[in-house]
Structure 1
Amino acid sequence: MVAPEEVFQEFADSEEAQEYYREHNSKRDEVAEEKLQPLIDDFQSGDVDVVEFKSRIDGLNKRNQLWGFDGFIGQMHFNKLFNAAPDEADFGDRLREAIQPPESVDEAGEKIDSFAEYTQRLKNNDIDSDPFPKSTIFFLSYFWHIQRPTECPIFYPTSEQYLGDVGLLDTDAPYGTRYVSFVETLDELREEANPWLDNSVEYRDVANAIYWYEEWDESEIDEEETGGGTEESATFIDVDKPYLPPVVADLDEVAAGTDEAVNRYAPVDTELPVIFERKCGTLFEMLGFDTKVLGQGSGRNPDGIAEAVRNDYAVIYDAKKREEGYRIGRDDRTIREYIETHTRRLRDQGKRHIYFAIVSSSFRDTEESTLRDLRTNTDIDNIVLLKADVLQELLRMRLEEPYLNLDDVEWVFGNRPGEIQSEELENIVPEWRQRDREFSVS
């Protein structure tokens, strides 16, 4: 087995490795600071519940495959925990406490043991979900690392295996003890790595060097550079706006009533709110729905109904042009009326699920209690808030990847109530289409 000093030397001498990880680490820092940390903060404060947190974490890691969380011991483990938990609110509270970064490595070990015991209880009581207690080490250390990257290393299986093989880690020790030993071992290796790597060696530098030695496949870089399709983000997200059909390419501008939109449609004898309604109807049609546009001039009606005829569901939608963002406020009575007017007919037509969607430029001061009340006291399965640019992004995915169908799209409307974030759209990608990645630090 190659000794650590040789691993570090090989890593330091490889210009390819150094260039790749400089860019990779920069991307990690950007995503962690701008996307993940704010989401974790919102979850910790209670502004985001565990359902939304799970969904958005999933989408962000599918879009940015930078830490290996999109695999079995990360997101899949999260899903298993959630499905096994008998009380959603209690699980959310336990998770908030568990992902709070520890103040010491000993506390880290204690938190891992405590959450692993909780996981074992869930496992014992729910044989279908079957969460795996050992995954706790990676699962918690990922969240700690995002929040304190220089203090809390991620417990990668690749690093664990290598350190065990060279006799530097007892891979049979209790989970908490194993993580404590892992951190202590990495601290020693950081000191050893100083002559070969940068003077201030981070935990991830050691993990990167081990991964480069153990798992690296040079075709990964080649595929990225030649557009080999390894990055889902390139396929689904980073698409120029011209890829949208022109008729809906300015939906977001019309929704916000920008100066550009006002000037563009000034010669047209139609108000922007009506144009926005019509464009929303067109976009739903392009998604594949059988769409009936109602809107202004049709009485007390929503702006349209989009039916997935072969998929047994329908979306009642209302388009709200707003410069400063839409707030439900007193409109909940109107929404309730729309739902009561149309759900009976749709149920009679055989629709198993009926959803309500509000489309606007943005949303503000949304009270979750209002959404819960509408779901509880009406015959609607879910109510979602969609920014116009999120709806455009959904259409981009649908047009670029024809294997996506309305069964996949239903996830957007039926997964959870509230505002759907752009990163969550990654969750409509079927499992068979997602890249099969093992757990790595690449």
Structure 2
Amino acid sequence: MNSQQIKKIQLIWDNYIKSNKQVLDTKGQEISNIDKTRYEAIVQLKELIEQFNISESNIYEFKTNIDSFNKRNNFWGFTATKGQMFFNQLVKYSETKIDALSVLLKDVISKPKDLKDALIKIEKLEKYCLPIFNKAKDRRKAPNPGSVGYYLSYFWQIHDNSQWPILYTSQINSYKELNLWEDKPSQKETYSFFYNLNQEIKQVLESHSKKSISNWDAEHAFWNFKGNPNKELVKKKTETKEIKTELETSIVINSSFELSDYLIPKVAKLIDLGNETEKSSALKGSEYEKLVAEIFKQLDFEVEVLGQGTGRNPDAIIRLREESTAFLVDAKAYSNGYSLGVDDRAIKEYINHYSPKLQKEGYKKIGFIIVSNSFKSNFDSFINDVTWNTDVKRFILLSSEALLYLLAYKTKDRLSLSTIIESIIGFGNPVTANNIIEEFDDV
């Protein structure tokens, strides 16, 4: 580490101190004392781990318990790709040898004796994942060995936060910017390099601050610098109207990448097109519908475009045949936010007309998606009516920005279409970019 890098690390710490050590959660709310909050959460997490260790809960129950807890207490980013998604895929691909996986997990998530033991544990799980990943027909659905370091170090930090730093992608990105990072061929070598670099950085900060520096201190400082999954959020301006749209009043969560880096220019203009005020409504609507259909194609749906000029029809039907899943799609290019108005009757007509046809084709799971830049009326009673009285059991309000982020994460992380569907049907309405970033952003 050269003098310039040391000065930069010191500046990162000083800026963190100047911010009053502010740490924000994924909802944009300040956690006044995240370390204290984490300690309280750790007590409960240790109980869940112990229940699994002594077989009071099986691996399926353990997976669900960890998922539920972290969704309520997302202080480590475990809900993202390298945490819970990896866990879900690991279990799904091991159903024929679930007992062996249970024995392995009990071993590798336990507290390591030292760094050498930690690296042995990483190597065990990495070797377990590699053949699954390499032989998978669709690797996006398989447990990625590249997630092993984060996944295990999360559990180790629950056991002993003073010894085990978590292998956050965001911190690695910070280290790369400082020219401190060297990519390694395996997770074992990656964590060894990360662990030792983290120790060196803590020593630099201790010398600079004249106080003891914990793993959490260093982590928070670097999150504040660049890579915090919960980094500084900004509120969008709201219109001075009695009814404000959901997106206009929400807090914007920053992703760890530039959205435009993972979109082709053709689809990247979707939001701007929805906000367009110069074009005629018909032309604007037609172009918006075509872009929405194109994005669903890029998500790997089979897309049947209906759209304008075809009578009283939804704009498209999108299908995933392998999972007997289909959605009717309506794209609404409203610059001031979409509300139901007279469309509620038309939507029910679409559903009643196309649901029987889709069922005859073998589609057992049928949903309805409305895509618009924003939504300004409360759809709850209408959605409840539809899902109770029709064959549509999922009614999704999807913002244009959320749709673009789904495509970006699909491209960036090679997400499978089934994973994307699982995510959007699990959110409340409307589904915003915030929801997508919280679900999929790397930590």
Aligned to 2:11: 6
Aligned to 1:124: 134
- Asked whether 1:143 is paired with 2:155, we answer yes
Runs of 5+ unmatched residues, structure 2: 25-29, 238-248, 254-363, 365-379, 395-422
Counterpart contact for 1:99–1:143, Cα < 8 Å: yes
Runs of 5+ unmatched residues, structure 1: 232-351, 353-397, 409-425
Aligned to 2:345: none
Q: Secondary structure at the match of 2:437?
A: coil
1:191-240, CA deviations, whole angstroms, 9 ceiling, x for partnerless residues?
Answer: 111255572211121111111110454326999xxx95789xxxxxxxxx
Counterpart contact for 1:7–1:209, Cα < 8 Å: yes
Aligned to 2:85: 76
Q: Secondary structure at the match of 1:15?
A: coil
Aligned to 1:242: none
Counterpart contact for 2:81–2:442, Cα < 8 Å: no
- Asked whether 1:90 is paired with 2:90, we answer no
1:365-399, CA deviations, whole angstroms, 9 ceiling, x for partnerless residues?
Answer: xxxxxxxxxxxxxxxxxxxxxxxxxxxxxxxxx99
Distance (Å, rounded) in 2 between the aligned partners of 1:197 and 1:12: 10
Q: How many residues align?
A: 259
Distance (Å, rounded) in 2 between the aligned partners of 1:37 and 1:50: 15
Distance (Å, rounded) in 2 between the aligned partners of 1:121 and 1:186: 31
| Counterparts in 2 of 1:89 and 1:18: CA distance versus 1, 3 Å | closer
1:251-330 maps to which residues of 2 (within 5 A)? none
CA deviation after TM superposition for structure 1 residue 22, in Å: 5.0
Counterpart contact for 2:174–2:227, Cα < 8 Å: no
1:425-436 maps to which residues of 2 (within 5 A)? 429-430=426-427, 432=431, 434=435, 436=437
1:31-50, CA deviations, whole angstroms, 9 ceiling, x for partnerless residues?
Answer: 111x2110001111111100
- Asked whether 1:66 is paired with 2:66, we answer no
Counterpart contact for 2:235–2:250, Cα < 8 Å: no
Counterpart contact for 1:39–1:53, Cα < 8 Å: yes
CA deviation after TM superposition for structure 1 residue 435, in Å: 5.2
Counterpart contact for 1:153–1:183, Cα < 8 Å: yes
Give TM-score, length-normalised by structure 2: 0.51
Distance (Å, rounded) in 2 between the aligned partners of 1:403 and 1:164: 52
Aligned to 1:111: 121
Distance (Å, rounded) in 1 between the aligned partners of 2:149 and 2:385: 36
Q: 2:179 aligns with which of 158, 164, 167?
A: 167
Q: 1:39 aligns with which of 24, 32, 48?
A: 48
Q: Secondary structure at the match of 2:145?
A: coil
| Counterparts in 2 of 1:13 and 1:22: CA distance versus 1, 3 Å | same
Distance (Å, rounded) in 1 between the aligned partners of 2:66 and 2:191: 23
Distance (Å, rounded) in 2 between the aligned partners of 1:201 and 1:114: 31
Distance (Å, rounded) in 2 between the aligned partners of 1:41 and 1:427: 32
| Counterparts in 2 of 1:98 and 1:47: CA distance versus 1, 3 Å | same
Aligned to 1:369: none
Counterpart contact for 1:230–1:435, Cα < 8 Å: no
Aligned to 1:25: 35
Aligned to 1:219: 233
- Asked whether 1:200 is paired with 2:197, we answer no
CA deviation after TM superposition for structure 1 residue 84, in Å: 1.0
Counterpart contact for 1:80–1:131, Cα < 8 Å: yes
Distance (Å, rounded) in 2 between the aligned partners of 1:221 and 1:196: 35
Give TM-score, length-normalised by structure 1: 0.51
Counterpart contact for 2:80–2:442, Cα < 8 Å: no
CA deviation after TM superposition for structure 1 residue 429, in Å: 3.7
| Counterparts in 2 of 1:403 and 1:214: CA distance versus 1, 3 Å | farther
CA deviation after TM superposition for structure 1 residue 64, in Å: 1.2
Amino acid at match of 1:209: A
1:76-114, CA deviations, whole angstroms, 9 ceiling, x for partnerless residues?
Answer: 111111111131221111111110111111211121122
Distance (Å, rounded) in 2 between the aligned partners of 1:403 and 1:430: 18
Counterpart contact for 1:159–1:211, Cα < 8 Å: yes
| Counterparts in 2 of 1:99 and 1:403: CA distance versus 1, 3 Å | farther
Counterpart contact for 1:141–1:155, Cα < 8 Å: yes
| Counterparts in 2 of 1:56 and 1:198: CA distance versus 1, 3 Å | farther
Q: Secondary structure at the match of 1:37?
A: helix
**What percent identity do the matched residue pairs reach?**
22
Amino acid at match of 2:111: P
CA deviation after TM superposition for structure 1 residue 134, in Å: 0.8
1:99-132, CA deviations, whole angstroms, 9 ceiling, x for partnerless residues?
Answer: 0111111211121122111111222344343211
Amino acid at match of 1:200: S
Distance (Å, rounded) in 2 between the aligned partners of 1:47 and 1:78: 19
CA deviation after TM superposition for structure 1 residue 436, in Å: 2.2
1:308-338, CA deviations, whole angstroms, 9 ceiling, x for partnerless residues?
Answer: xxxxxxxxxxxxxxxxxxxxxxxxxxxxxxx
Aligned to 2:197: 185
Amino acid at match of 1:186: N
Distance (Å, rounded) in 2 between the aligned partners of 1:39 and 1:30: 14
Amino acid at match of 1:76: M
What value does the CA root-mean-square deviation take over the aligned residues?
3.8
Distance (Å, rounded) in 2 between the aligned partners of 1:9 and 1:138: 27
1:25-81, CA deviations, whole angstroms, 9 ceiling, x for partnerless residues?
Answer: 221111111x21100011111111000011111111111111111011110111111
